[in-house]
Chain A
Amino acid sequence: MNEDGTGDGRAVPGSQWYDADAGPLVRPYAMTGGRTKPGPSNVRFDLIALVVVEDDPPGPAEESLLGPEHRALLTLCRAETQSVAELAADADLPVGVVRVLLGDLLEAGFVKVSRPVPPAQLPDERILREVIDGLRAL
């Protein structure tokens, strides 16, 4: 719960508190500064595009200028290479928001993102064999 629990800004005495069912108190567009698409590079991150931290990321000074959601994503990326979908689930943010924020991190040189897999392109037989064996062994 945020301090700003009245949601609509009117501090009516005794007004009820809203729980998560009432929807997010911070609207998605607030986290992205009103943007609905990633920045100038205009990349559309696939849900299973993998995000890894850059080898030589900007220093702590620059990192401290990032917003809390940016930093949350960065922390998740550092823990493990993850897909865009997993980052969205773990950060509890809508995918659309995560895409915009990742675009910022990409442009600022904090992360790298694997390109979306081109359609109709299947991995070679060796990989598929590995997947089948891996599934059997689960």
Chain B
Amino acid sequence: MAYERSENTGAGGGVDATALALKILVAGGFGVGKTTLVGAVSEIRPLRTEERLSRAGEAVDDTGGVAQKTTTTVAMDFGRITIRSGLSLYLFGTPGQDRFWFLWDELSQGALGAVVLADTRRLEDCFPAVDYFEHRKIPFVVAVNCFAGARNYGAHEVSRALDLDRGTPVVLCDARDRDSGKEVLIRLVEYAGRMHTARLLDSVG
């Protein structure tokens, strides 16, 4: 196991000696339901990060008149699911705008996997996220948020439209529904486990 084992069992009130934290990202276009999904399965909290503006951001943010504004405040959603004492799952809603890509690199470090939320009415919004995770070989599932009023597409059609690698799961879901959200996460963890095993087998030839 690659996690440092803390010897602390004292003041924190029964801290587990092998506390583990796992990270799952929730990505997708603006308004696709990332916050809703994180909120449906966990207690959600807003997180402020003050970050250095990327060059791309400078062009978008009108910084005229604000001399040398080099940082910007980015708000992210995050939630925690406690599996048991000493084992927690953290969900991070990634900021949707392209100019916050620099945050993704940090967020995806050591992530167990990602959920890419998609809306079939504007499927192209999730292309960047799909590309990002495919490139970095981070296991992800595509969760199609079935908005009322949107035409229903099957998982297979979405998979083809997104040109997903074989095996990448596509799950139809309702981001507002807790059970539906749980199912998405379960599919992701199962898939991440399969990917990991496959890579181990590859590495031994």
Which residues from chain A sit less than 8 Å from chain B, CB to CB? 28, 46-50, 52-55, 77-81, 83, 85-86, 88-90, 92-97, 112, 114-125, 127-128, 130-132, 134-136, 138
Q: Which residues of A contact B110 (CB under 8 A)?
A: 46, 48, 116-121
Interface size (B, Cβ < 8 Å)? 53
Interchain nearest-CB distance for B111 vs A (Å): 8
Known: A124-B1, A127-B20. 5 other contacts (CB 8 A): A28-B50, A48-B90, A123-B112, A130-B84, A131-B83
Which residue of the partner chain A has the closest CB to B77?
Answer: A89
Interface pair B84/A81, CB less than 8 Å apart: no
Q: Which residues of A contact B15 (CB under 8 A)?
A: 52, 81
Q: Contact check: which of B19, B106, B196 meets A81 at CB < 8 Å?
A: B19
Interface pair B50/A95, CB less than 8 Å apart: yes
Asked whether any CB of chain A lies closer than 8 Å to the CB of B149, the reply is no
Which residues from chain B sit less than 8 Å from chain A, CB to CB? 1-4, 6-8, 10-13, 15, 19-23, 41, 45-51, 71, 73, 78, 80-81, 83-84, 87-90, 92, 106-107, 109-110, 112, 137, 178, 182, 185-186, 189-190, 192-193, 196-197
| CA of A133 to CA of B135, assembled, Å | 30
On whether A52 and B12 interact (CB within 8 A), knowing A89-B78, A122-B192, the answer reads yes
On whether A136 and B4 interact (CB within 8 A), knowing A89-B45, A94-B48, the answer reads no
Interface pair B50/A96, CB less than 8 Å apart: yes
Q: Is the interface of B mostly helix, strand, loop or mixed?
A: mixed
Interface pair B87/A127, CB less than 8 Å apart: yes
Q: Contact check: which of A81, A86, A88, A97 meets B12 at CB < 8 Å?
A: A81
Which residue of the partner chain A has the closest CB to B73?
Answer: A94
